Amino acid sequence: MGRKDEPKPTSKPSAAAKPSKLVVSAVLASMDNPNKSAKPKPKPKAKSYLDDADLPPSDEDEEASVVVSKPASKERASLGLGLAEHVLTEKEKKKKEKREEMKARSAEVERQEVLKEDRDAFVVSSGSRATAEADDDASNSNSSLDNVRDIVVENFSVFVAGNELFKNASLKISHGKRYGLVGPNGKGKSTLLKLLAWRKVPVPRNIDVLLVEQEIVGDDRSALQAVVSADEELMKLRAEAQSLSEADDKDAADGDGDRLREIYEKLQLKGSDAAEALASKILAGLGFTKEMQDRPTKSFSGGWRMRISLARALFMQPTLLLLDEPTNHLDLLCNEIIHLHDLKLPAYEGNFDDFESRYEQERRKDNKDYEKIDKRIKVAIKSGNKAQQDKVKGQALLKTAKSKKWRDYSVEFHFPEPTELTPPLLQLIEVGFS
């Protein structure tokens, strides 16, 4: 007889029934094959004091989280990763702060360098009158000022970007003397030389001034052009003569012809035709070949640009020559020292050795006077006598107006954070010494 087909179930088994069948079959299989039983459960670990700590996962924890895929291990791994990211963020934050600090410091240095070349950034006053007013008065005065040979400036002050560089300082530069300007770095020595060259500090108009800086700024001008351009009056006369010569008859004014003849006479007196030959001869004496004289100044190193600066000085032969640290041995030639100290410019007769001796004597004397005054003030305060205190303070104010405690000059250096370099930093192969 044929077997009757069992009726098909009208509905699928529930989700709860299916796992139960799998569990029973697995149990029966394990009973038949005891060697192939499921892996025994690991023994519970002893409770540790680190169990509740939020630590990054170890290698074992990470491996267990991959194989067993325990939710607790996943959570622990994610918390550990977050903690590691937090630590790295703090390190990066510190490095970023250092970089920003160095960047701000570099920007401030660049700003100060820009201010040094900005003539309008300096406010100079001489006595009760501004420098500009003094220049106007000088231009309108009689010709007797044209014979002045010395530079004398009384009670002048200089401000730049809100900072006071000089306060009621006095300066005297006598004809025929060689001066040395000394003082701490960054206090205004180079600025003073530039103010004299720019005539921001009053300089008689008959005294031509040339500033030889540490090295000429490199640009597209040739070395020969840079030397000739030191004569600013010559360059202005040449430019004006060229402008008048190129002007059309329609654009020419009535007095242009007379002015052009006047300019040519001045150019002849200044030896304009021989200017380039003289500059070339001076450069050749300083080691410049003909090819080097035609090269742009920006192609030269600092040492060669310093020679160009010296060539400009030799070419001009100015009445007042200002040298901004061209060499460290010219102090031996000085016969008077101007010391930039406490926003003033006191002068000392003699060379640099004489100045050091007198400076040390004055420093010791002023410091000794200051200590005496300070000691008397402390004694008066301890005595409790109000009248005595007022008397001592009045005397102290009178004396401290003339003497202050001189502090030793100190310099603070800031070095940037070095980048990490992979070793070897230096490697020598087959090196011999004889």
pLDDT digits (tens, 9 = 90+) for 183-226: 888 888 989 999 999 899 989 988 988 888 767 888 899 999 99
- My answer on whether 239 and 302 are in the same domain is yes
**Picking from 272-276, 306-310, 313-317, 383-387, which range would have the lowest pLDDT averaged per residue?**
383-387
Token couple for 192: 């003073």
Whether the predicted pLDDT of 241 surpasses 70: yes
Q: Which residue from 230, 204, 206 is spatially nearest to 217, judged by alpha carbons?
A: 230
CA distance 29 to 23: 10
- My answer on whether 309 and 260 are in the same domain is yes
Percent of the chain with pLDDT over 90: 22
Sign for the CA dihedral angle at 296, 299, 300, 305 comes to positive
pLDDT digits (tens, 9 = 90+) for 25-57: 554 455 555 554 445 555 555 554 445 444 444
Backbone torsions φ then ψ of 410, nearest 5 degrees:
-130, 150
Residue 393 in domain: yes
CATH code, domain carrying 212 = 3.40.50.300
CA distance 215 to 311: 11
Alpha helices in 121-231 (DSSP H): 131-140, 189-198, 223-228
pLDDT at site 254: 64
- My answer on whether 307 and 218 are in the same domain is yes
pLDDT at site 255: 65
pLDDT at site 291: 95
For residue 176, the SS3 value is coil
Residue 366 in domain: yes
For residue 141, the SS3 value is coil
Binned at pLDDT 50, 70 and 90, residue 93 comes out as confident
Whether the predicted pLDDT of 410 surpasses 80: no
Binned at pLDDT 50, 70 and 90, residue 338 comes out as very high
pLDDT at site 2: 46
- My answer on whether 380 and 285 are in the same domain is no
Greater pLDDT, 368 or 330: 368
pLDDT at site 142: 46
Mean pLDDT calculated for residue range 159-168: 88
Residue 285 in domain: yes
- My answer on whether 227 and 303 are in the same domain is yes
Residue 368 in domain: yes
**Picking from 63-77, 320-334, 420-434, which range would have the lowest pLDDT averaged per residue?**
63-77
pLDDT at site 173: 94
Mean pLDDT calculated for residue range 280-293: 94
pLDDT at site 68: 41
Binned at pLDDT 50, 70 and 90, residue 145 comes out as low
pLDDT digits (tens, 9 = 90+) for 3-31: 444 444 444 444 444 444 445 455 445 55
Number of domains in the chain: 2
Residue 310 in domain: yes
Q: What angle do CA 223, 243, 254 make, to 5 degrees?
A: 155
Mean pLDDT calculated for residue range 99-107: 75
Its domain, for residue 282, covers 208-248+255-318
Greater pLDDT, 51 or 411: 411
- My answer on whether 391 and 306 are in the same domain is no
Q: In the 8-state DSSP scheme, what is residue 29?
A: H
CA distance 102 to 91: 17
Sequence-ordered list of residues with C-beta below 8 angstroms from that of 318, at least 6 positions apart, any chain? 208, 209, 210
Q: Which one of 269, 293, 318 terminates a domain?
A: 318
Residue 242 in domain: yes
- My answer on whether 303 and 381 are in the same domain is no
pLDDT at site 187: 87
Q: Which amino acid is at 308?
A: I
Whether the predicted pLDDT of 65 surpasses 50: no
Mean pLDDT calculated for residue range 102-125: 71
Mean pLDDT calculated for residue range 397-418: 68
Residue 163 in domain: no
Residue 75 in domain: no
pLDDT at site 399: 60
Cα atoms found within 13 Å of the Cα of residue 316, Cβ hemisphere only: 27
CA distance 396 to 32: 111
Mean pLDDT calculated for residue range 59-86: 47
pLDDT at site 328: 56
Percent of the chain with pLDDT over 70: 65
CA distance 142 to 130: 20
Q: Which amino acid is at 203?
A: V
Q: Which amino acid is at 139?
A: S
Greater pLDDT, 49 or 405: 405
